[in-house]
């Protein structure tokens, strides 16, 4: 049974409570909650709250430019949809709804390996919108290779390798609820449509669903994930490759040495390692190492346009929006997502104007103080 106790303490977000009304308890917990005691999740919010904007005035802000260029393509806004799997647990349209909404808004979309629908179906509803593919490097090389090659063939323009998930974090609410959306078949879109994956099965998923789901869970992550895997994945594709889940400046340095094309500073929204540094706190040291050589993006804890502003001020080129768009999806499908994104972009625009920033380049650390 659902009670208000289930809501994250001190997280006064009407979006979250509205989504809570719409979702069954297990699905809400899977989306909203984090690993362990949720100290990482709390750190993510605290990190944003501790920075205050110190605005500049008298700067003619009648025109504002929110564009950013990444890998040779201009984006209208510095926001992307984070890769979020199993979206059918939030709404029957799942990724088809969120990718359509992203396309209509022209906000780039990152498809998860664990999407409810196949990447080719999601590509079809995306139109010309920029789309990237997020890869969980598989225990089986043939599956990893096949996923990457399918993404390139179906018009994805970058590969995002998630590196903070060699195995799943300890999600206590899911254990209590005895819930796994993958076991329910909500994250099999890319696997059941994959010839390499199906080649590992004795019987096809439509003949033996249980065994196919168990196989997916067995091979989805790669506990031995290391820099050698990155080199192998590099040989599968010509697309730019970003690493998602970098938090240590030494790993940022290694990423540069391995010719990684971009970094996403992320702690997976506090769903993996508990008592972990917040992404925002990790950002400045990483930007110092990278020194503008490759794009640095950030996610984990972004809830508003002001948060986007702060992340950019501390060095991010762009940010990924996570749970808020899933709450929008749960509340009202595509239209719900549009409202969430439009609100955030509007607040970013007004915050820029009121702090004297005419473009994203004007948003820098001089506009912030830690208070
Ligand atoms: C995620 N995230 C995630 N990341 C990833 O690389 N692959 C995935 O399949 C998923 N799936 C997923 C499911 C759900 C329900 C959530 C909430 C998150 C992590 C996601 O990309 C992003 O890092 C976080 O959502 C950012 O944190 P916030 O802003 O949601 O707190």
- Atom of ligand 1 minimally distant from the CA of 31: 15
CA pseudo-torsion sign 51, 269, 266, 304: negative
323 CB near ligand 1 (under 6 Å)? yes
216 CB near ligand 1 (under 6 Å)? no
162 CB near ligand 1 (under 6 Å)? yes
Residue 219 has pLDDT above 90, yes or no: yes
Smallest CA-to-CA distance from 120 within 99, 136, 103 is with 99
Got the DSSP string for 264-283? EE--GGGTSSSSPPPHHHHH
Mean pLDDT of the chain: 96
Q: Between 323-354 and 25-32, two packed helices, what is the crossing angle to 10 degrees?
A: 40
Rounded to 10 degrees, the C-alpha dihedral 4/5/8/14 comes to 10
190 CB near ligand 1 (under 6 Å)? no
By residue count, the chain amounts to 371
Tell me, in angstroms, the distance from the centre of ligand 1 to residue 63's CA. Answer: 34
Residue 57 has pLDDT above 60, yes or no: yes
- Atom of ligand 1 minimally distant from the CA of 82: 21
- In order of their start, the domains of the chain are 4-370 (3.20.20.70)
Which residue is catalytic, options 248, 268, 275, 366? Answer: 268
Rounded to 10 degrees, the C-alpha dihedral 278/148/225/275 comes to 20
Residue 9 has pLDDT above 50, yes or no: no
Catalytic status, residue 268: yes
302 CB near ligand 1 (under 6 Å)? yes
Residue 227: strand, helix, or coil: helix
301 CB near ligand 1 (under 6 Å)? yes
What is the per-residue pLDDT for 204? Answer: 98
79 CB near ligand 1 (under 6 Å)? no
Per residue in 337-369, pLDDT (tens digit) is 999 999 999 999 999 999 999 999 999 999 999
How far apart are alpha carbons 94 and 89 in whole angstroms? 7
Per residue in 176-190, pLDDT (tens digit) is 999 999 999 999 999
In this prediction, residues 330-342 reach a mean pLDDT of: 98
- Atom of ligand 1 minimally distant from the CA of 41: 31
Residue 94: strand, helix, or coil: helix
pLDDT grade for 6, boundaries at 50, 70 and 90? low
CA 294 from chain center: how many Å? 19
Tell me, in angstroms, the distance from the centre of ligand 1 to residue 265's CA. Answer: 13
Mutation to probe ligand 1, out of 271, 319, 328, 329 (largest number of atoms < 8 A from CB): 271
Tell me, in angstroms, the distance from the centre of ligand 1 to residue 322's CA. Answer: 6
What is the per-residue pLDDT for 12? Answer: 47
Residue 226 has pLDDT above 50, yes or no: yes
What is the per-residue pLDDT for 316? Answer: 98
112 CB near ligand 1 (under 6 Å)? yes
Percent pLDDT > 70 in the chain is: 96
Tell me, in angstroms, the distance from the centre of ligand 1 to residue 269's CA. Answer: 6
Residue 314: strand, helix, or coil: coil
Contact indicator for 236, 149 with CB cutoff of 8 Å: yes
How far apart are alpha carbons 98 and 337 in whole angstroms? 7
In this prediction, residues 18-29 reach a mean pLDDT of: 97
Tell me, in angstroms, the distance from the centre of ligand 1 to residue 83's CA. Answer: 6
In this prediction, residues 83-90 reach a mean pLDDT of: 98
Tell me, in angstroms, the distance from the centre of ligand 1 to residue 272's CA. Answer: 10
């Amino acid at each position: 049974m659902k009670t208000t106790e289930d809501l994250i303490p001190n997280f006064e977000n009407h979006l979250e409570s509205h989504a809570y009304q719409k979702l069954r308890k297990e699905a809400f917990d899977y989306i909203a909650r984090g690993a362990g005691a949720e100290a990482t999740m709390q750190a993510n919010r605290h990190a944003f709250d501790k920075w205050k904007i110190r605005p500049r005035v008298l700067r003619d802000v009648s025109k504002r430019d929110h564009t950013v260029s990444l890998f040779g393509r201009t984006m209208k806004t510095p926001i992307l949809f984070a890769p979020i799997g199993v979206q059918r647990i939030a709404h029957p349209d799942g990724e088809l709804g969120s990718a359509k909404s992203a396309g209509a808004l022209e906000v780039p979309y990152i498809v998860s390996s664990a999407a409810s629908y196949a990447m080719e179906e999601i590509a079809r509803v995306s139109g010309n919108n920029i789309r990237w593919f997020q890869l969980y490097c598989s225990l089986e090389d043939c599956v990893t290779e096949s996923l990457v090659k399918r993404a390139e063939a179906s018009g994805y323009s970058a590969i995002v390798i998630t590196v903070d998930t060699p195995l799943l974090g300890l999600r206590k609410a899911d254990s209590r609820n005895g819930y796994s959306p993958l076991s329910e078949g909500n994250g099999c879109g890319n696997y059941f449509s994959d010839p390499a994956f199906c080649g590992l099965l004795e019987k096809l998923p439509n003949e033996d669903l249980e065994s196919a789901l168990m196989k997916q869970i067995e091979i989805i992550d790669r506990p031995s994930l290391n820099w050698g895997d990155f080199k192998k994945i590099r040989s599968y594709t010509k697309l730019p490759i970003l690493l998602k889940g970098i938090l240590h400046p030494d790993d940022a340095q290694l990423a540069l040495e391995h010719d990684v094309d971009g970094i996403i500073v992320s702690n997976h929204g506090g769903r993996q390692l508990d008592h972990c540094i917040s992404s925002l706190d990790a950002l400045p040291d990483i930007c110092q190492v990278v020194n503008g050589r490759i794009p640095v993006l950030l996610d984990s804890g972004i809830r508003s346009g002001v948060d986007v502003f702060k992340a950019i001020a501390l060095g991010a080129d762009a940010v990924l929006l996570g749970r808020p768009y899933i709450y929008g999806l749960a509340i009202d499908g595509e239209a719900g997502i549009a409202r969430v994104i439009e609100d955030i972009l509007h607040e970013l625009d007004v915050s820029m104007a009121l702090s004297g920033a005419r473009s994203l380049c004007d948003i820098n650390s001089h506009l912030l103080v830690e208070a």
